[in-house]
Amino acid sequence: MGFALAFQLKSFVAISASMLNYVRGVTTKITDLIPGSTARTLIEAPANELEQFYIQVFNGLKEAIPTAVFKTFKFTQLAAAYATDVVTITAPVALLAAIPIADQTPFTSADGRVYYSTEALTWAAGTTSIAFPVIAAASGSAYNIAAGAINSSTSFDDGTYTISNAGTTSGRDTETDSERLTRFSDYIAALSRGTDDALLYGIGTATLADSTGDITEYVTRSGIDSSLAGFVKLYIYGSSGAPSGALVSTAQTIIDGWINPDGSRTPGYRAGGVGATVAAMAQVPISLTIQVSMLDGYTVGTSTQTSVTSAFATLLSGIDTGDILYADAIETAVLGVAGIESVVINVTENTTCGQNQVLVPGTVTVSQLS
């Protein structure tokens, strides 16, 4: 904090030394200043209290200044967020009849964490798999989970089906003081409304919460196209994947501003006279065909397929708007999977992620290099 430069703590030793030096400088009548003497004790007793006073004032300032600033701007800490993921159920053969999957169907990881489907679904006849979103049983980063770790369900426990997940890091703990300070710095930089940075900050604050205040969906990435004079296109992607209509609507309201119950208006982030629309980012699937040579003791199987898919998904999650997916980076990511000695991939060209795009794994096929 900046005030630390102007306000410096003084220790008991420094305070008592200063007081002793003062006494020695103004009188020659008090000569017994050795530790334990009456005069020394009369000096050290208030010095000890002054040290405690310095500490208390410092702690008070350290707490009061950020609290006053955040309260002034109504900048409260963000609540914890739920982890959301995509679960896939696979049957060994195509279904002869459709299977209903109820809303809130539980799915469990190997270590006992529980996730629930977020909508009622119907697994269509004639298909071998179905993928759908799930949400963690509780909020927080403890429910972030690796790909393939969700592998069971009481609704599909007869041994016929294979259950897996894509993996997620969307769970988030309650915002810390340092995280809020960083976000506040971004907020201050966005006070000049209408700039690209301000618009991106604004849509990045869009969240949806449950009745307890925990965040169920929030913006994880955003993009902007301001190439057309007088009009701006904004794009968002959500913690659950493709953003819900409610999250897009919330982001649009933040950009446009709104009327409060008392009739006053809260301004949005767009400049006056400039049109701005918020839309969902388009998912661009990147399919991957890989031939691998395995080290001794390893074979190409379900575990290898899952690990390669997870490594590829992790790589793509780090490709933000405007970034480039390099073919060499895919090869490097796959070579990081345990047991793989060498690879040949079908991707030979680099891919640029547009402002309205998010790269996601398409079909990933892994086979033995002949």
Place of tokens 């955003």: 222
The pLDDT assigned to 87 comes to 92
Number of separate domains in the chain: 4
- Domain shared by 313 and 354, yes or no: yes
The pLDDT assigned to 118 comes to 92
pLDDT tens digits, one per residue of 241-296: 889 999 999 999 999 999 988 888 888 998 888 899 999 999 999 999 999 999 98
pLDDT tens digits, one per residue of 87-103: 999 998 999 999 999 99
Which amino acid type is present at position 117?
Answer: S
- Domain shared by 253 and 292, yes or no: no
The pLDDT assigned to 5 comes to 47
pLDDT tens digits, one per residue of 321-353: 999 999 999 999 999 988 999 999 988 899 999
Query: What is the distance in angstroms between the CA of the first residue and the CA of the last residue of the chain?
Result: 62
For range 9-14, the mean pLDDT: 88
The domain that holds 132 is classified in CATH as 2.40.30
- Domain shared by 213 and 238, yes or no: yes
Task: State both tokens at 137.
Answer: 């049983």
20 and 33 Cβ atoms separated by less than 8 Å: yes
- Domain shared by 225 and 290, yes or no: no
For every residue of 158-215, which 3-state class applies, written as one string? CCCCEEEECCECCCECCCCHHHHHHHHHHHHHCCCCCCHHHHHHHHHCCEEECCCCCE
Residue 172 covered by a domain: no
- Domain shared by 10 and 65, yes or no: yes
Residue 175 covered by a domain: no
Is the Cα dihedral 291, 297, 302, 303 positive or negative? negative
For range 95-124, the mean pLDDT: 94
Query: Domain boundary at 72, 100, 121, which?
Result: 72
The pLDDT assigned to 3 comes to 43
pLDDT tens digits, one per residue of 14-33: 999 999 999 988 988 888 88
Residue 6 has pLDDT above 70, yes or no: no
- What is the Cα–Cα distance from 180 to 176, expressed in whole angstroms? 6
- Domain shared by 362 and 290, yes or no: yes
- Domain shared by 267 and 295, yes or no: no
HSE (side-chain half, CA atoms, 13 Å) at 361 = 22
Domain limits for position 31: 3-72
Query: Domain boundary at 280, 300, 328, which?
Result: 280
Percent of the chain clearing pLDDT 70 (strictly above): 98
- Domain shared by 200 and 257, yes or no: yes
- Domain shared by 248 and 276, yes or no: yes
Sheet containing 275-280: which strands, arranged edge to edge?
A: 207-209, 215-225, 231-238, 275-280
Residue 8 covered by a domain: yes
Task: State both tokens at 368.
Answer: 């033995």
Residue 2 has pLDDT above 50, yes or no: no
Residue 173 covered by a domain: no
- Domain shared by 216 and 290, yes or no: no
Residue 9 has pLDDT above 90, yes or no: no
Percent of the chain clearing pLDDT 90 (strictly above): 51
For range 145-174, the mean pLDDT: 90
Residue 184 covered by a domain: no
Say which range, 5-14, 27-36, 298-307, has the weakest mean pLDDT.
5-14
Is this prediction's pTM over 0.75? Answer: no
Residue 77 covered by a domain: no
pLDDT tens digits, one per residue of 227-242: 888 899 999 999 988 8
The pLDDT assigned to 4 comes to 44
The pLDDT assigned to 370 comes to 72
Query: Domain boundary at 44, 72, 100, which?
Result: 72
The pLDDT assigned to 7 comes to 66
